[in-house]
Each structure stands twice: as structure tokens, then as C-alpha cells.
Amino acid sequence: MAYLFTSESVSEGHPDKISDQISDALIDHFLAFDPNSKVACETMVTTGQVMLAGEVKSSTYLDVQKIARDVINRIGYTKSEYMFEGNSCGVLSAIHEQSSDINQGVDRENPEEQGAGDQGMMFGYATNETENYMPLALDLSHMILRELAELRRENRDITYLRPDSKAQVTIEYSDDNVPQRIEAIVVSTQHDDFDEEEAMLAKIKADIISILVPRVKAKLKPELQKLFTEDIKYHINPTGKFVIGGPHGDTGLTGRKIIVDTYGGKGAHGGGAFSGKDPSKVDRSAAYATRHIAKNMVAAGIADEVLVQVSYAIGVAAPMGVYVNSYGTSKVGLTDGEIARKIEKIFDMRPYAIEQRLKLRNPIYEETAAYGHMGRKNEVVRKQFFSPDGESIILDVELFTWEKLDFVDRIKSEFGL
């Protein structure tokens, strides 16, 4: 019998995502000037206020207030009527030195023996139902909000949009797990005030269905465009008026959107957030590494769908173990346990090895902090950073290295494909 599966995304202007982006902008600035920085930075945003807290071990000094304000302005909180505006909000920093007790478990004389920055388990997932090996419902939810943000910045076809928004997509699957159609699309977007609420709701719903959705659909392959039928149930701003939003409407915290950040509820999640953490924290680096493994496995034809788990003890370099679940879709005539043993031979999962393989000591993280950390485009970009003393640095950095299909041939060779 067919079944339904739903995933959601939130925009860059969502309070929790503002927090994530500020935390990751701080990470990038620390790494730009001192690649060996150890950082765990949390951000809270509320009406007119930003609070920064966390632990740092670094040789550089940053103007954290300016960095936070630049992020807020880039997102689009630039008007006083939003009750949260980049140039005027208060920014309080309570960042302090990293605990020496934690640091002694991470740093080693031999960098290869660098210990894991924390205990825990991390998961990576991939499926062949989309070109980027991501679950379709989440991929479409991200696309809807990225396109909505483009419309907001263009300020042409839709002129009333504000930065805060959420989207949700429900897909109907066949028994053999093939997407059949879109059952429902939910979009809630913050907007300017209207004189008449009934006219406002009608206008927003019409614009989302007739302007936003066709723009999203046009970017998809024909086989996915067919999923957009006349029977889609649309819920556009279903609670009605959404003028009060962003940090004025809801306090935001770093690390509260971990399912949006990963696989939209498909696969699994170990519970650790990513943003605000340097790559010595395996919550982040190992989650990227397991995604890299899972994606390359599916691309190599090992299985149609793969979940990879790795786990660590704090201060210990070697992982406790690697687990693989192919959901019965394996093509190689091996048990999942046998597949896991082969994967352990191919991928060195010690924290330092992950950092080197995926180039994680570079300032690549602000781009991850909205619209998902997985399924993104691997590309090289040029970034510039400024220090409080006037020093600037320009770096060419490679984004989303964990999305590269650079281990496919090696996996095929190991599995005799």
C-alpha cells in the first residue's frame, strides 16, 4: 500500500537559523586567521538582542559584534519595524577560554592521534531517489525556501515578503519506495502588514501557487515536474496573519534545527548539532564523513539507500565502530556487517584523518548554516575576512567537500564491481 512521508525546512531568516549562521560566521573568522582554533559557540536571538556564549582556544581576536551584525544584515533584517535589525540590536558576548580538561583529550603531539572532541554517535544517509542523493521531500522543502528568499531579494514579483519562513512537503511513495506525487505543500511566510486580512491571505496564497511554485518546478527534471499535479493540497499561511516573526516572534538558538540540517527525518540522527563547532567536534566532522561515505556507496551501486553510523569516545582517536544499514537494497551479495568491515578499510575515520580528507580546517561553514548541510553543491569560492586591527585575508576555499563523489572507483574496486 502506498505511504506518505513529510519533511520540512526553515528559511535563513528563521530565528534558529539566524543563530546558526552567526555561530558559523564566527567559526569561519576564527579558522581564517588561525586554522587550529578550537571553538564551540552558541548564539541566542530575541527581540532586539543577540547573545553569544561558548568556549574558544585561538590565537586570533575578533570583533564578534560586527560579525553578528553583518550576518543579520545579509539575511535581511534591516528595518526597525521587524523589531530586530542588524545595525541597532544589542550584541552581548560571553565567550570564554576552552576548558583545559577538554583540550587535553583532543590535542596530541602526533596530530594523527588527535582525540575525538566528544563522545557520541553520528549518522550519514544517502538515497538514489534524487540526483544529489537526498530525500526528495526535504530537497523540495529547501528549494521552495531558497526560491522564496530569491523572490524577497528581487522585490519585484512579490514585494511584501519578510525574512522568516517555513516550508513542508508531503510525498506519496509506492510500496517499492518510488515517489508518485506530491500530496501536500505547506508554506508559512512572514509578510508586511496589509489593510485587509482576507485580501492579504488570498494574495499571498495566489502568489505562492502561481509565482513561487512554478519557479521551483522549472528547476526540476521532467520526471520530478510530473509530481506537481492539480491535486496538491496547499496550506499557505494556514494560521492567517504572519507579520510578527523572526527573533521578535520567537527566540532563536543555535542547534535547534538538526533534522532540517540533515535528512528531514529519513535515516537517523545522533542528536548532536553542527553549527558553532570547529571540526575537532565529531558531532560535525563525523556527520559530514558518514554522509560522504553513504553518498559514495550509493553512487557506486552498493545499494539504493544507505545509512552509516560511527561512534566515538571523547579523547580517543579510533572510532568505537562503524555500522551500515542498506535497508534490504544491497546489490553486492554481502551482509550489512560485511559491508561495514570493507568500508572501515577504505575510510580512515579518526578525527584528524577526516579533517584532512574533507579539508575541514578551512572557513567553509557559514554557507552550511541555512538550507541544509547535506546535498549541497561542491564548489570553490573566494572569501574575504577582516580582523579588528584592519588585517584582511582572502582565501579560495572548497565548500561541501563531503558531497564529492571521489571514492566511487575505490569502493567499486573493493567490492569487485
For the segment 95-104, what is each residue's pLDDT rounded down to a tens digit? 998 765 555 5
Enter the CATH code of domain 3-10+135-244: 3.30.300.10
Using DSSP bridges, classify how beta strands 233-236 and 179-191 pair: parallel, antiparallel or unpaired: parallel
Supply the pLDDT for residue 195: 86
Average pLDDT over residues 333-357: 96
The answer to whether the annotation marks 348 as part of a ligand binding site is: no
pLDDT band at 115 (very low <50, low <70, confident <90, very high): confident
Distance separating alpha carbons of residues 96 and 41, to the nearest angstrom: 10
The answer to whether the annotation marks 165 as part of a ligand binding site is: yes
Q: Which residue has the higher pLDDT, 195 or 93?
A: 93
pLDDT band at 265 (very low <50, low <70, confident <90, very high): very high
The answer to whether the annotation marks 166 as part of a ligand binding site is: yes
Q: Which residue has the higher pLDDT, 172 or 390?
A: 172
Q: Give CA separation, 35 vs 20, 58, 97, 179, 394, in Å.
A: 20, 9, 17, 43, 14
The answer to whether the annotation marks 63 as part of a ligand binding site is: no
- The gap from C-alpha 156 to its chain's centroid, in whole angstroms, comes to 28
Amino acid of residue 174:
S
Which residues, 6+ apart, have CB-to-CB distance to 165 below 8 Å? 10, 11, 13, 14, 145, 148, 149, 187, 188, 189, 190
User: What's the chain's average pLDDT?
Assistant: 95
Residue 163 near residue 32 (C-beta atoms within 8 A): no
pLDDT of 72 above 80? yes
Supply the pLDDT for residue 97: 85
Q: What is the largest CA-CA distance in the chain?
A: 67
Range with the lowest mean pLDDT among 102-116, 223-237, 306-320?
Answer: 102-116
Supply the pLDDT for residue 109: 63
The answer to whether the annotation marks 250 as part of a ligand binding site is: yes
The answer to whether the annotation marks 231 as part of a ligand binding site is: no
Backbone angles phi, psi at 387, to 5 degrees: -100, 160
The answer to whether the annotation marks 66 as part of a ligand binding site is: no
With 0-12 / 13-18 / 19 or more C-beta atoms within 10 angstroms meaning exposed / middle / buried, residue 53 is middle
Backbone angles phi, psi at 249, to 5 degrees: -90, -25
Distance separating alpha carbons of residues 117 and 376, to the nearest angstrom: 26
Distance separating alpha carbons of residues 317 and 315, to the nearest angstrom: 7
- The gap from C-alpha 364 to its chain's centroid, in whole angstroms, comes to 12
In angstroms and rounded to an integer, the radius of gyration of the C-alpha atoms of the chain is 22
Distance separating alpha carbons of residues 150 and 339, to the nearest angstrom: 43
Average pLDDT over residues 83-87: 97
Supply the pLDDT for residue 108: 56
The pLDDT > 90 percentage for the chain reads 91
pLDDT of 107 above 70? no
Amino acid of residue 104:
Q
Supply the pLDDT for residue 64: 95
pLDDT band at 148 (very low <50, low <70, confident <90, very high): very high
DSSP character for 99? P
The answer to whether the annotation marks 65 as part of a ligand binding site is: no
The residue behind cell 552581548 is 92
CA angle at 351 for the pair 271 and 367, rounded to the nearest 5°: 65
Angle of the 282-300 helix axis to the 408-415 helix axis, nearest 10 = 60
Distance separating alpha carbons of residues 194 and 192, to the nearest angstrom: 7
The residue behind cell 537559523 is 17
DSSP character for 329? -
For the stretch 180-189, pLDDT in tens is 999 999 999 9
Closest of 52, 7, 1, 2 to residue 260, by C-alpha: 7
For the stretch 19-45, pLDDT in tens is 999 999 999 999 999 999 999 999 999
Q: Would you call 139 helix, strand, or coil by DSSP? A: helix
For 368-399, letters b (16+ CB in 10 Å) and e give bbbbbbbbbeeeeeebebbeeeeeeeeeebeb
The answer to whether the annotation marks 25 as part of a ligand binding site is: no
Supply the pLDDT for residue 111: 73
Supply the pLDDT for residue 100: 58
Closest of 362, 297, 360, 295 to residue 334, by C-alpha: 297
Average pLDDT over residues 137-163: 98
pLDDT of 105 above 70? no
The answer to whether the annotation marks 386 as part of a ligand binding site is: no
User: Whole-prediction pTM value?
Assistant: 0.95
Distance separating alpha carbons of residues 10 and 45, to the nearest angstrom: 16
Average pLDDT over residues 151-166: 97
Using DSSP bridges, classify how beta strands 49-57 and 90-97 pair: parallel, antiparallel or unpaired: parallel
The answer to whether the annotation marks 281 as part of a ligand binding site is: yes
The answer to whether the annotation marks 147 as part of a ligand binding site is: no
